[in-house]
Each structure stands twice: as C-alpha cells, then as structure tokens.
Structure 1
Amino acid sequence: MNKQLYNSKLEEGLSRLQCELVAERNKINTENISWFQYDLLESLYHTDGNRPAELSNNLGVSRSKISKGLKALKDMGYVKQEKSDSDARELWTVLTDKGFKFLKEIKKGHEHLAEIAESVLTSDEQILFTELCLKVSNAFKERRD
C-alpha cells in the first residue's frame, strides 16, 4: 500500500473512531456538561487536585479558558477551590462529591464501550489495541507539552 493511501486510511480510521467516541460521549453525558468541562473534571479525577496553571498545560488551553471552565463547574457544584498550600496566590482545585459521582456514572459508560470492544476483538487484538491507543494518545499529549 502506498504511503498516501495508508495516510488516508489512517486519517479515516482516526476520524471515524473520534466520531463514534463523540456520539457515545454525548449519549452518556446526561448532565449536559460541555466537552471542555468534562475534560477538566476528568483531569482532576486522576489527581488529588491541581492548580489552574497545571490544568492549562495538561489540556493545552489558555489560563483564562481554564478559569472560566472552573468557575462554571464550581457554580454547578462539581469542583471546589481553595488557596494552594504552596502559593497563596494560586487556587487548588479538587472534585466535590457531586463531581466524583458524575464521573463514576460516566465510567459506567466507558465500561460499556470496553465491553463492545472486547466483544469484537480477540484477546491479542485487545492487548495490541490498548498498547497502540496509549502510544498514540501519549504522543498527542507530549506534542502539547
């Protein structure tokens, strides 16, 4: 297969997977959290909290966008902010119980997606798919850093 055709197929595969994941995400997001707000919550879920500057770097968006997103999530009761122990000028952001509960419900949707993938992939394909997804997603993240 020539390189141009291969790149076209790779782009198609990534695009179709992204579209399907978006559709599934919309289906399980019963709280109508925006995509960006969800990304903020998910980023906080994997830490014991974070400063806005770190969230900005991790998500590749401006500090002002982070501040607006966190304010909305705080108003909805999904996060709380306190002054950072290391720097009183910085706010430390953590999930509230409501935020954890929301993400646990979303996790159930992710488990459903994993069950679908498991049903169409052999054990060896599952291992390879997982490794490749992590490799590509890490490359995307590294290029943002």
Structure 2
Amino acid sequence: MAAMNAVNWLSEEEQRIWRSFLAVNSLLQERLDRDLQRRDGLTLVEYAILVHLSEAEGQRMRMRSLADTVIVSKSRLSHQVARLERDGYVRREDCVEDRRGFWAVLTDKGAEVLRAAAPGHVAQVREYVFDRLTDTQVAEFGAIMAVLERGLRESSAK
C-alpha cells in the first residue's frame, strides 16, 4: 500500500483535461480518416505519407525516415506504402547507399491525388479545430503542442 501513496495522482481537473484530450484525439483522427476514405479513398496515414513525400527533397524519403516522420511502425508503413504503390501513388526504389534500405517516391499520380484530397482535408481540419478557437487560443495551443512534442521526442531519444 505504501507504493500507492508515492503516486502523484492526477487532480480531478487534470483527469478531466486528460480524458478530454484522449477523446478529442480519438474523435478527430476517426473523423478525418473517415472523411478522407469516403471522399478520396485514402486513410489518414496514407494521406500523411503523400504529404511528407510531397514536401521532401526530390519528393522521396527513406522508408525509415518516413516511418519516423509519419509516426507509425516500420511494418505499418510498409503495409501502407504497398497499398499506395499498388494504386500507383508511390513507388519504391532501392537505396544504393544502403542495400537494406528503400526510398519511397511520390509519383505524378500520387501528387495528383494529394492535390485533389488536400482542399477537403484542410477544410475539415479548419472546421474541427482552428475555426473553433480564437487567435489567442490558436497561439496557446501551438505553444502547448510544441512543449509536449519536444518533451516526448526528447524522452524517446534517451
């Protein structure tokens, strides 16, 4: 029983905020994913892959870096890239520098699908998040997210 006393339990307010955060995160991902699948035939993860490839130099990224950027496991990324490859949105290329590695490369068809999907996705993000906040709340939200992301990335690097 002594070990339980050492726990710094969440206050009622912290518990309420934490549960609200979990609900918002889950609901937001589910709605954005459902909308992208319905409208564009893409999952949220596939959309993220296409976005990151479109922003990368030469519209290509190493698979390992892409997994870290999209924040999915290497096996899940491999599965998602295989689907995107099957649909002609991405192609894999051998990495000359590392025979075990591969590049994921955005195709012209993938860029076209992304251009078509982006306006609807951005409209949903704006409706569900940014249009509900004041400019001050957006700034505070950005600062909070930066602190949390930095802390999580630093603790995972240890």
RMSD, aligned α-carbons: 2.9
Q: Which runs of 5+ in 2 are unaligned?
A: 1-8
Task: Indicate whether 1:107 and 2:122 are aligned.
Answer: no
Cα distance, 1:75 vs structure 2: 0.8
Measured in 2, the distance between the counterparts of 1:110 and 1:144 equals: 30
TM-score (norm 2): 0.69
Q: SS where residue 103 of structure 2 aligns?
A: strand
**Higher relative contact order (Cα pairs below 8 Å, separated by 6+ residues):** 1
Change in 2 beyond 3 A, CA 1:7/1:66: same
Contact 1:60 1:144 (8 Å CA) reproduced: no
Q: Which of these two proteins has the greater Rg computed from alpha carbons?
A: 2
Q: 1:28 corresponds to which residue? A: 36
Measured in 2, the distance between the counterparts of 1:65 and 1:24 equals: 19
Change in 2 beyond 3 A, CA 1:119/1:83: closer
CA offset digits 1:37-89 (Å, max 9, x no partner): 33433442332321222233442413x43333222211111101222243344
Task: Indicate whether 1:94 and 2:101 are aligned.
Answer: no
Out of 129, 133, 136, which is 2:145 matched to?
133
TM-score (norm 1): 0.73
Measured in 1, the distance between the counterparts of 2:154 and 2:114 equals: 25
Identity across the alignment (%): 20
Q: Greater shift after overlay, 37-46 or 70-79?
A: 37-46
Out of 47, 62, 70, which is 1:38 matched to?
47
